[in-house]
């Protein structure tokens, strides 16, 4: 069974998924970061594929992607780093990146490499949903990959239900239509959006991402979904602390 499915079958609330950019702050830190996340109880990890034009990301992740590329990170190198990762890492792993590097690698080859190293799902924010249905869904499914789709406060109910019908794993609830980045709290409009999605009783679980950085935002997300995704805050801590273990400790302290 896919590890994402196993996670949501065994844990229904309070799930914490943490994003980091592969190759940042140092090229060969991927395994150490994953081991630090797993050892301190994080439920799932999202590994960012650095790209030169990360249009959905705020300044923290943009800077991390730029540094990662300068460090020599590429999709080929990332798969090399993940080659033996399942010897130590049991948590679900999701690759998150833009369509351009995936297409340069070749979508079927990408899916094949994901399966070979034990990646469970992919998030490609700029992959049009119609293209996913017509060109990519079957290929991903043949390699056991969950393709996770994003929704925003502007996504219509009809489109959300279409996404819910044609995907599995979980739905990524973007907290706002802006780019990634930490927020102090969520205003009433965002919380009304969370409640609206919760009331739809979707078949897929949802995780809230963008802006989760402290206890208030984590609790607001976890109270209206199966859990939360944290990215910018953790990437920032990776750049400021001496080790991945310390970055994870500070992150957990901030949200609990």
Q: Is the dihedral of CA 147, 46, 217, 222 positive or negative?
A: positive
Block residue for tokens 């973007």: 174
Q: How far apart, in whole angstroms, are the C-alpha atoms of residue 140 and residue 147?
A: 7
DSSP 223: T
Residues 182-205: b if buried by 16+ CB within 10 A, e if exposed: bbeebeeebbebbeebeeeebebb
The catalytic residues are 46, 57
The crossing angle, in degrees rounded to 10, of helices 244-255 and 232-240 is: 130
């Amino acid at each position: 069974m896919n590890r994402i499915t196993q996670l949501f079958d065994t844990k229904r609330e309070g799930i914490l998924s943490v994003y980091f950019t592969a190759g940042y702050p140092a090229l060969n830190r991927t395994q150490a970061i994953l081991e630090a996340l797993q050892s301190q109880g994080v439920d799932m990890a999202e590994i960012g594929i650095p790209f030169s034009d990360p249009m959905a990301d705020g300044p923290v992740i943009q800077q991390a992607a730029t540094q990662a590329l300068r460090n020599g990170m590429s999709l080929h190198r990332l798969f090399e780093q993940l080659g033996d990762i399942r010897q130590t890492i049991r948590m679900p792993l999701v690759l998150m990146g833009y369509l351009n590097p995936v297409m340069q690698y070749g979508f079927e080859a990408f899916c094949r490499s994901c399966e070979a190293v034990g990646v469970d799902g992919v998030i490609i924010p700029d992959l049009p949903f119609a293209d996913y249905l017509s060109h990519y869904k079957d290929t991903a499914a043949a390699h056991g990959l969950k393709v996770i789709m994003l929704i925003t406060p502007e996504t219509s109910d009809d489109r959300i239900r279409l996404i819910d019908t044609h995907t599995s794993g979980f739905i990524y609830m973007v907290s706002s239509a802006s780019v990634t980045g930490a927020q102090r709290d969520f205003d009433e409009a965002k919380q009304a959006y969370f409640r609206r999605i919760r009331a739809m009783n979707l078949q897929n679980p949802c995780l809230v991402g963008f802006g989760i950085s402290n206890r208030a935002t984590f609790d607001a997300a976890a109270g209206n979904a199966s859990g939360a995704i944290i990215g910018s805050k953790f990437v920032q801590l990776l750049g400021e602390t001496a080790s991945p273990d310390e970055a994870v400790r500070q992150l957990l302290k901030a949200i609990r």
